[in-house]
Every structure is written in structure tokens, then in C-alpha cells.
Amino acid sequence: MTISIGVLFSGGGRTILNLLDCIDRGELDATISIAIASREGLAGTDRLIERNIDVAIAKVDGMSLEESDARTIAWLEETKPDLVCLCGYLRLLEIKPWMQGRVINIHPSLLPAHGGKGMYGMRVHRAVLESGDLTSGCTVHHVDGEYDHGPTILQRSCEIQKNDSPQDLADRVFDLECEAYPEAIRQLVATLQP
């Protein structure tokens, strides 16, 4: 069964490019039916357009965050993808009844550690290193009404090296994310079938 995926992002789009690569290699039986950028001027928008993916821009100049969030929900309601994947999306998405169990996120730490509002990108990796944790990794989870919360689908972990910089750790964790997100999607496909 080929599933339709909606992707939402707020940055460079690398996670979506990884999913597209998996689709192109035949490792993921899916199509990206809608891509939504949280605002204008994101590097990910240009990268997706280069891959022939149309991108809807939620927040344009002069628009409130509430208006842009409403546009995002309207676009998702209109397309109703089988699965909605948050790919570095920094807004809290309202989960409508039809979306229950169909919205997932990937976070660059082993949740529940180092998650929550404002915990994204290098902030997470700095917090992990400052905490003295011996391991880090990534978590794919179902999305509910809170940041970085909801039932875990899977986690992948790596050891923290003695001299790791936040960037070193980020690079290692992103390699894990590139395996974990497609795997989580494959696991969910069986549960999404009618």
C-alpha cells in the first residue's frame, strides 16, 4: 500500500530530503502529498522545490501565527494525508480527530529527556552534553497536544564521545534519524490500512 505523507518543516528540510531519498530508492512505499513550510524564507523550501515538491507557505508577511496555524490545519484537512510527519517543525500542531494516531515527530534526543518547547536543534545537543549523559539519540513518537510528548514509536541511541562538540553529536544523531524515521513510518503503515 502506497501511503500519502504530509510533511511540515521550519528549517532546512534535510529530514524530508532523506524521506524522499528513501522513496526514490524504493525503501519507503509513499508519496509526499503536501509539504508545508511554517514561514517564508526557509532553506528547506528551495531544496524541496529543486526535488519537484510544491511547498505551501503557512506564514507570510503581515500574518499572525494564529492565522498561519489555521492555514496549516486547513491544508491538512483538504488533503487528508495518511500520515503527517513533523520534520523539524517548530509550531505546536492542533490534532484534529481524524489526525489521531496519524501525526508523528522525530526529536534529536532520547525523550522524555531534553524535550519540550524551545528544545530543538543545537539547543538539544548542548543540553545533552551539559547534562553529562553517556548516551543520546533520537525518538520517533506520536504527536499529542504537547511539545515532544506522546507515545514513543521507536528510539535509536549512540554513545557520547569524550570530546564531542554539539555539532559532532548532532551529526551522529542525524545519521540515526535518517534510519529511524523511515523505519517508524514502515512500522505504522500496517496500522494505517483500512
Return d(Cα 140, Cα 65) in angstroms, integer: 26
- Tens of pLDDT, residue by residue, the chain (194 residues): 799 999 999 999 999 999 999 999 999 999 999 999 999 999 999 999 999 999 999 998 899 999 999 999 999 999 999 999 999 999 999 999 999 999 999 999 999 999 999 999 999 999 999 999 999 999 999 999 899 999 999 999 999 999 999 999 999 999 999 999 999 999 998 776 55
Q: What is the pLDDT of residue 189?
A: 85
**Strand, coil or helix: 75:** helix
Q: What is the pLDDT of residue 54?
A: 94
Q: Which residues contact 2 (CB under 8 A, 6 or more apart)?
A: 29, 30, 31
Q: Which of 107, 114, 125, 142 is catalytic?
A: 107
Catalytic residue flag (residue 107): yes
Domain extents for the chain?
3-192
How many angstroms from the chain centroid is the CA of residue 12?
12
Q: What is the pLDDT of residue 145?
A: 86
Return d(Cα 36, Cα 45) in angstroms, integer: 9
Question: What predicted TM-score, i.e. pTM, was given to this entire model?
Answer: 0.94
Return d(Cα 33, Cα 40) in angstroms, integer: 20
Q: What is the pLDDT of residue 190?
A: 76
- Extract the C-alpha cell encoding 66: 494564529
Q: What is the pLDDT of residue 1?
A: 78
Q: Which CATH class is domain 3-192?
A: alpha beta
CB 145 within 8 A of CB 138: no
Peptide bond preceding 194: is omega within 30 degrees of 0, i.e. cis? no
Torsion of CA 103, 3, 35, 139, to 10 degrees: 40
Q: What is the pLDDT of residue 194?
A: 53
